Amino acid sequence: MNSRFPVILVVLIGLQIPLTARSAPPTAAEAPAGFDTPTLVLNPGSKSSSNGLVEPSGDTFVLDQQTYETLHDVNSGLGPVYNGRACAECHQNPVSGGASQFTELRIGHRDGSGTFVSPIVPINDGANQIVGRSIVNDRAVVPQAQEHIPVTEDIRALRAALNTLGDGFVEAIDDSTLLAIAASQPVSTDGRIHGEAIQVPIFESPGQTRIGRFGWKDQHGSLLSFTADAYLNEMGVTNRLRPKDTTSIGKVTADPEDVPDSLGLADIDHFAQFIRGTKVPPRDSALAGTATAVTGARLFERIGCSTCHVSSITTAAPGTVVNGGEFVVPEALGNKIIHPYSDFLLHDIGTGDGIVQTGPQDTANKLRTEPLWGLRMRPRFMHDLRSLTLHNAIERHQGEAEHVIRDFQRLTETEKQELIGFLETL
Interior/surface letters 74-83, b for 16+ CB within 10 angstroms, e for the rest: eeebbbbbbb
Residue 2 — very low, low, confident or very high, per pLDDT cuts 50/70/90? Answer: very low
Q: Could you write out the DSSP letters of every residue in 289-354?
A: TSHHHHHHHHHHHHTTGGGTS-S-EEPPPTT-EEGGGTEE--TTTTTEEE--S----EE--S----
Nearest of 33, 60, 303 to residue 189 by alpha carbon: 303
Radius of gyration of the chain, Cα coordinates, nearest whole angstrom: 23
Q: Is the Cβ–Cβ distance between 216 and 159 less than 8 Å?
A: yes
Residue 3 — very low, low, confident or very high, per pLDDT cuts 50/70/90? Answer: very low
Say if 206 falls within a structural domain. Answer: yes
Say if 5 falls within a structural domain. Answer: no
Give the residue-averaged pLDDT of 334-350: 98
Judged against a pLDDT cut of 80, whether residue 111 lies above it is answered with: yes
Judged against a pLDDT cut of 50, whether residue 1 lies above it is answered with: no
Say if 123 falls within a structural domain. Answer: yes
Give the residue-averaged pLDDT of 117-138: 97
Percent of the chain with pLDDT over 70: 94
The better pLDDT of the pair 281, 15 is held by 281
Judged against a pLDDT cut of 90, whether residue 200 lies above it is answered with: yes
Q: Is the Cβ–Cβ distance between 336 and 344 less than 8 Å?
A: no
Looking only at the bridges linking them, the beta strands covering 116-117 and 199-201 are: unpaired
> What is the SS3 assignment for 103?
strand
The single-letter DSSP state of residue 258 is -
Cα–Cα distances (Å) from 140 to 34, 74, 77, 105, 425, in that order, read 36, 10, 12, 14, 39
Give the residue-averaged pLDDT of 44-72: 97
- Gap between the Cα atoms of 116 and 135, Å rounded: 14
Range with the poorest average pLDDT among 19-23, 232-236, 345-349, 401-405: 19-23
Nearest of 99, 101, 103, 102 to residue 35 by alpha carbon: 99
What total of structural domains would you count in the chain?
1
> What is the SS3 assignment for 396?
coil
Give the residue-averaged pLDDT of 339-349: 98
Judged against a pLDDT cut of 60, whether residue 5 lies above it is answered with: no
Residue 423 — very low, low, confident or very high, per pLDDT cuts 50/70/90? Answer: very high
Give the residue-averaged pLDDT of 262-289: 98
Name the residue range of residue 254's domain.
Answer: 61-423
Interior/surface letters 306-326, b for 16+ CB within 10 angstroms, e for the rest: bbbbbbebbbbebebebbbee
Q: What is the pLDDT of residue 14?
A: 33
End-to-end alpha-carbon separation of the chain, Å? 54
- The chain-wide mean pLDDT, for the chain, equals 94
Judged against a pLDDT cut of 70, whether residue 24 lies above it is answered with: no
Judged against a pLDDT cut of 60, whether residue 146 lies above it is answered with: yes
Judged against a pLDDT cut of 50, whether residue 4 lies above it is answered with: no
Residue 26 — very low, low, confident or very high, per pLDDT cuts 50/70/90? Answer: confident
Say if 184 falls within a structural domain. Answer: yes
Q: What is the pLDDT of residue 22?
A: 42
Say if 222 falls within a structural domain. Answer: yes
The better pLDDT of the pair 261, 17 is held by 261
Say if 12 falls within a structural domain. Answer: no
Say if 49 falls within a structural domain. Answer: no
Q: What is the 3-state secondary structure (H, E, C) of 189-244?
A: CCCCCCCECCEEECCCCCCCEEECCECCCCCECCHHHHHHHHHHHHHCCCCCCCCC
Range with the poorest average pLDDT among 8-17, 173-182, 302-311: 8-17
Q: What is the pLDDT of residue 207?
A: 98
Q: Using one digit for the tens of pLDDT, what is the confidence trace for 134-144? A: 999 999 999 99
pTM of the model: 0.93
Nearest of 351, 346, 347, 353 to residue 155 by alpha carbon: 353
Q: What is the pLDDT of residue 16?
A: 36
Judged against a pLDDT cut of 60, whether residue 317 lies above it is answered with: yes
Percent of the chain with pLDDT over 90: 94
- Gap between the Cα atoms of 28 and 26, Å rounded: 6
Say if 13 falls within a structural domain. Answer: no
Judged against a pLDDT cut of 60, whether residue 280 lies above it is answered with: yes
